[in-house]
Amino acid sequence: MKIAALAAVTALMVAGCGSSATDSGNTVNWWTWDDKQAVAYGECEKAFEAANAGVDVKITRYNVDDYFTKLTAGFVAGTAPDAFQNSVQFLQAYASQHQLMPLDDLIAKSNLDLKKYSVGVDTWKFTDGKQYALPLDWAAAGIYYSVDALTKAGVSEADVAQMTWNPDDGGTFDKIAARLTVDENGKRGDEPGFDKNAVATYGVGAIAGRSFIGETTWAPFVSTLGWRLGDKDQWPTKFNYTDPRFTKTMKWVTSLTDRGFSPKLGTFTTGNQSTISDIDLVGSGKVAMTVGGSWSAPSFGKIPGVKVGIAPTPLGPSGKRSVLSNSNGNNIWAGTRNPDLTWKWVSYMGSEECQTKAGATGTFFPSIPAAMDNTVTSMKSQGVDLTVFNQYVKDGVLYPSTAYANGSAMQSAEQPLFEAYFGGQRSDDVFAEMERVSREILAKS
């Protein structure tokens, strides 16, 4: 779930102070990088402590830029938290270093049914076949749009909800993106005289993104063709960047920017080169609709003076959607001095009771369907309709993110290549290099 988007300025101590393996036997330390989940799971902390007299749960949130560095330092010093939120890109590194406790025996002893989770269980199985985490949440992409922009363009919300896509002509998604695009003279992208070099409102936000996974950019499109990131669903030996389905999709993505319907990389940046958020772009009218993460739904729903709707990602050539779902995991540190109490807390976090309490904020999606239903109901009363995302689960269109080796190295190597391609500095020859790089990095121990 949006690691790079979780930056914050300071560490937040939700309960207690500090986090160390040297705390008393009645203390459990849990870390997260997500300020919203820190607060949300604080509701579970209260209930857990009330039900377990004398137990103290300390929830600590750190800036994501520091989070994994602090975890590594804690592993080395023997002061890591008892349990912590983790991104799948670090599973291989931590499990191979024996820093994570396998949960299989604890799961069996507790009679915990892993089938109750909607998504994410298999993602957290390492190459040794052991389960190293319980799914903590899940996320997916949706289409956020300005209702006013649709009305002015003569496009109905029903049209957006049933958009189609294919890599040859872009389907109705392409047509709607063109219609929603407006230049500085008021000409729309599908009208004669449209000036692609003087765009006032882009029909769709940036799909030409830096991400080498494309969760909230191109993945909901190319995956409808049956394409998947790796040559194996989990622990692949290469990424399929030379697959014709992928390369054809990337050419279509660049055509959106070439025609002025979607912004090029760097179009919306501040003086310090920080990217302006899609929420601000939709709110200011610079973008009419955008592909965005489910975690942004509450923020989109609360833009002052702008009514924002949520639509599912487009239907592919087969008439079906295909949506990548990332699921963060709840790990237990192998060095915890209180494994039984830590498991009691972690398994409680993975219960319907806790996820219903924490998920009521709508700032993340619970992994248990019944808790997710409650989240939808809770947020609807606040004017944010999450039905689209819940329907993904019910329709079975989600597919799990790929667990792969050497996540940090992969990100550092691949993202500049994507940026060079979408920035126009590299041509189609970059795809072969990207695939070669992925094979080399995945092969490293």
Tens of pLDDT, residues 391-408: 999 999 999 889 899 988
309 vs 300: CA distance, rounded Å? 9
pLDDT at 24: 59
The answer to whether 33 touches 61, Cβ cutoff 8 Å, is: yes
CATH of region 141-325+405-443, choose from 3.40.640.10, 3.40.190.10, 3.40.605.10, 3.30.930.10: 3.40.190.10
Q: State which fold the 3-139+328-386 domain adopts.
A: D-Maltodextrin-Binding Protein; domain 2 (3.40.190)
* CA dihedral (128, 132, 134, 135) positive or negative: negative
272: pLDDT strictly greater than 60: no
pLDDT reported for residue 274: 65
* Distance separating alpha carbons of residues 299 and 383, to the nearest angstrom: 11
Query: Measuring CA to CA, which residue among 9, 22, 20 is closest to residue 73?
Result: 20
Residue 377, both tokens: 């109901």
Q: What is the mean pLDDT of the chain?
A: 92
User: Among candidates 134, 139, 130, which has minimal Cα distance to 104?
Assistant: 130
Asked if pLDDT for residue 77 goes beyond 80, the answer is yes
Taking alpha carbons only, the member of 222, 243, 235 closest to residue 441 is: 235
Dihedral sign of CA atoms 43, 46, 52, 54 in order = positive
Determine the Cα–Cα distance for residues 148 and 45; give it in Å rounded to an integer. 42
Give me the mean pLDDT over the 34-60 stretch. 95
Q: What is the dihedral of CA 182, 183, 188, 194, to 10 degrees?
A: -160
User: Hey, where are the domains in the chain?
Assistant: 3-139+328-386, 141-325+405-443
pLDDT in tens, 341-400: 999 999 999 999 999 999 988 888 999 999 999 999 999 988 899 999 999 999 999 998
End-to-end CA gap in the chain: 25
Residue 88 carries which DSSP code?
G
pLDDT (average), residues 149-160: 98
Strand partners of residue 324? 399
Confidence (pLDDT) at 19: 42
**Does the pLDDT value for residue 15 go beyond 60?**
no
Tell whether the model's pLDDT for residue 271 goes beyond 60. no
Mean pLDDT throughout 255-268? 95
* Cα–Cα distances in angstroms (integers) from residue 29 to residues 94, 187, 301, in the given order: 18, 57, 33
Query: Which DSSP letter does residue 329 get?
Result: E
Strand order in the sheet with 182-183: 182-183, 199-204, 287-293, 141-146, 308-311
pLDDT bracket for residue 445 (50, 70, 90): confident
User: Quick one: which of 146, 138, 109, 108 has its CA closest to 121?
Assistant: 138
Give the separation between CA 240 and CA 237, rounded to whole angstroms: 10
Task: Assess whether the region 3-139+328-386 and the region 141-325+405-443 belong to the same CATH fold.
Answer: yes
Residue 354, Cα to own-chain centre: how many angstroms? 22
Residue 65, pLDDT > 50, answer yes
Q: 274, 364, 288: which is closest to 7 by C-alpha?
A: 274
CB 89 within 8 A of CB 411: yes
Q: Rounded to whole angstroms, how far apart are CA atoms 173 and 48?
A: 47
